[in-house]
Amino acid sequence: MALLDAVAHHTLVLACFITPCKTYPHKDPILGLDLFIENFRLLNKGGFLDKLSERYYRQNAWTYTQLLFREKVINTADPENIKAILATQFTDFQHSPRRKAAFYPTFGHGIFTTDGAEWEFSRALLRPSFVRSQVGDLDIFEAHISHLINKIPRDGSIVDIQQLFFALTMDTATQFLFGQSANVLVEGEPSARGEKFAEAYDYVTEIVGIQAKLGQIVAKIPNKRYTDSIKYIHEYVEMYVQKAVDFAKFGHSRSVHDAEANGRESHEKYVFLEELAKTGVDKKKIRDELLNVLFAGRDTTAGLLSFTFYILARRPDVFEKLRAEVMTLGSERPDFAQIKNMKYLQYTLKEVNRLYPIVPFNARAAVRDTTLPVGGGSDGKSPILVKAGQAINYQIYTMHRRKDLYGEDALEFKPERWEHIRPTWQYLPFNAGPRICIGQQFALTEASYTIIRLLQAFKSIRPREGEGPLTELLALTSSVRGGVNIGLTPA
């Protein structure tokens, strides 16, 4: 059997040599600088994602290669190939070395930044913290959302709600992870340290994003603000880690002040960090994992909420239908089951995740010579060869908008389509396979809860006048360029 597999594999590899996939028609066929310059420009001014889609349509292919300097990079928006990368040939691919290099100084070795056995260890370590009872704890969200609502003008004047969502998800994520919120949405002295942490964190992720895109040239430029920020972030997190480790050992080190600052006895609640401390892993490992999860969960959920409110402000039909569903609760807080039963709300979130995926593209590198199932030959249906080390970009944004997969109305925002579609490998906002997003339930619960509470508190919504069309802001994840500037009328 093993021999048969080997022969089949060899045959596939040979097939790839005779059926190469399409190559981008570069103006600069040596280094591919034309595409590099165009990408750089669009990443800075917006429009990058639609250009990516346009290139696929122009070439009439869902898989093609392009040059990045001398490297031959594969691009794909084909569900078959993406399934192979993420699941059926999972061990053939890893995260790209460039991404890892950008992440290590701040985020160290954690679930998001490692591969192989190291990643397996992290995944097993963190999995118990993401069971439903932990992520279904809605009390974590309630206090912070009320702070957010307090920041919204009552006279209907314009506010950038995206900025508030980024503050909200920082507050909720730090509460869940450290047991003490950064409290960015609360003004005043007690949150000054948290605010400084949030500021440092925002700056560092911006730089990491640039390094991940442009490589180590940027990392070599001395940047004191960057190194100081990393130092502050580490010290801030280490302070909580030390307390949790002491708590795990002696059971009483959490100071009274912490519990008071939280407005509750914090050790009665599930605290991610405390559970990690109980496992006995070392302090550096705990710090790295906390920062990895903070990174994975904070900007993403804020992005999802931001795109949702951008749409709601421009689609009164969707807003009305959604609010009608939400108001079946009156002003009561929803529980987990009620959230899951709000069908139109869930469809709306699915549709936002389809048209505006927060991780719109992603990359892997092959760890050995291998193949991908489709993209070769004149009809694009033959396997293609992937060489060890070769980079592959997979573009979820393009795949989610394909008319052959979603119908002629693929570009329309239509939550109702989810009444009758059940896509599998064509729909991957949270990734799939062994590295599927571990926080998906947390994210959807937080987003749903926030939308419900906001729609209970406000009866109408309008966009700022004179705004141009929607363009994305691509850092490490996607958000709305220029913010989500809306006016809300209290209920």
The annotated binding site for heme is made up of: 437
User: Given candidates 430, 450, 472, 483, which one binds ligand HEM under the rule CB under 6 A?
Assistant: 430
Residues near 336 by Cβ (< 8 Å), separated by ≥ 6? 132, 136, 138, 445
Q: Which range, of 50-58, 70-78, 191-199, 428-436, touches ligand HEM by CB under 6 A? A: 428-436
Residues 281-310 that bind ligand HEM (CB under 6 A): 293, 296-297, 300-301, 304
Q: Which of 193, 435, 462, 464 binds ligand HEM (CB under 6 A)?
A: 435
Which amino acids are annotated as binding site, given as ranges? 437
Q: How far is the CB of 435 from ligand HEM (least distance, A)?
A: 4
Residue 353 or 382: the one with the smaller Cβ distance to ligand HEM is: 353
Smallest gap, in angstroms, from Cβ of residue 70 to ligand HEM?
A: 25
User: Between 82 and 359, whose beta carbon lies closer to ligand HEM?
Assistant: 359
Which residue's CB is nearer to ligand HEM, number 181 or number 300? 300
Position among 24, 112, 201, 356 found at the interface with ligand HEM (CB under 6 A) = 112
Q: Which amino acid is at 415?
A: P
Question: Quick one: 111 or 342, whose CB is closer to ligand HEM?
Answer: 111
Q: Is 213 in the site for ligand HEM (CB under 6 A)?
A: no
State yes or no: residue 370 binds ligand HEM (CB under 6 A): no
3-state secondary structure the chain: CHHHHHHHHHHHHHHHHHCCEEECCCCCCCCCHHHHHHHHHHHHHCCHHHHHHHHHHHHCCCEEEEEECCEEEEEECCHHHHHHHHHHCHHHEECCHHHHHHHHHHHCCCCCCCCHHHHHHHHHHHHHHHCHHHHCCCHHHHHHHHHHHHCCCCCCCCEEHHHHHHHHHHHHHHHHHHCCCCCCCCCCHHHHHHHHHHHHHHHHHHHHHHHHHHCHHHHCCCCHHHHHHHHHHHHHHHHHHHHHHHHHHHCCCCCHHHHHHHCCCHHHCCCHHHHHHHCCCCHHHHHHHHHHHHHHHHHHHHHHHHHHHHHHHHCHHHHHHHHHHHHHHCCCCCCHHHHHHCHHHHHHHHHHHHHCCCCCEEEEEECCCEEEEEEECCCCCEEEEECCCCEEEEEHHHHHCCHHHHCCCCCCCCHHHHHCCCCCCCCCCCCCHHHCCCCHHHHHHHHHHHHHHHHHHEEEEEECCCCCCCCEEECCCEEECCCCEEEEEEC
Residue in 111, 149, 184, 480 binding ligand HEM, rule: CB under 6 A: 111
Interface stretch with ligand HEM, choices 62-70, 145-153, 211-219, 434-442 (CB under 6 A): 434-442
Nearer to ligand HEM, 165 or 319 (CB): 165
Name the phi and psi angles at 371, rounded to 5: -135, 165
Count of residues that bind ligand HEM according to CB under 6 A: 21
Using CB under 6 A as the binding rule, whether residue 349 contacts ligand HEM is answered as no
d(C-alpha 98, C-alpha 386), whole Å: 18
List binders of ligand HEM among 127-186 (CB under 6 A): none
Supply the minimum distance, in Å, between the C-beta of residue 125 and ligand HEM: 11
Residue number, nearest CB to ligand HEM: 439
CB of 260 to ligand HEM, least distance (A): 26
Please say whether the beta carbons of 42 and 52 come within 8 A.
no
Question: Would you state the structure tokens that stand for residue 361, as one six-digit string?
Answer: 């593209």
352 lies in the site for ligand HEM, by CB under 6 A = no
Closer to ligand HEM at the Cβ: 112 or 226?
112
Of the pair 16, 208, the CB lying nearest ligand HEM is at 208
Residue closer to ligand HEM by CB (options 116, 490) is: 116
38: its two tokens: 């165009």
- What is the smallest separation between the CB atom of 474 and ligand HEM, expressed in angstroms? 14
Q: Which is nearer to ligand HEM, 245 or 443 (CB)?
A: 443
Contact 350, 418 (CB under 8 A): yes
One residue of 374, 385, 437, 451 binding ligand HEM per CB under 6 A: 437
Q: Which of 63, 76, 205, 431 binds ligand HEM (CB under 6 A)?
A: 431
84-103 positions binding ligand HEM, by CB under 6 A: none
* CA gap 100, 212 in Å, rounded: 8
Nearer to ligand HEM by Cβ, of 16 and 349: the residue is 349
Give, in order, the Cα–Cα distances in Å from 389 to each of 59, 81, 392.
25, 17, 10
Part in contact with ligand HEM (CB under 6 A); list of ranges 153-161, 205-213, 250-258, 355-363: 355-363
Please report whether residue 76 would count as binding ligand HEM according to CB under 6 A.
no
Which residues inside 217-246 make contact with ligand HEM, applying CB under 6 A?
A: none
Contacting positions for ligand HEM (CB under 6 A): 111-112, 123, 293, 296-297, 300-301, 304, 358-359, 362, 429-431, 435, 437-439, 442-443
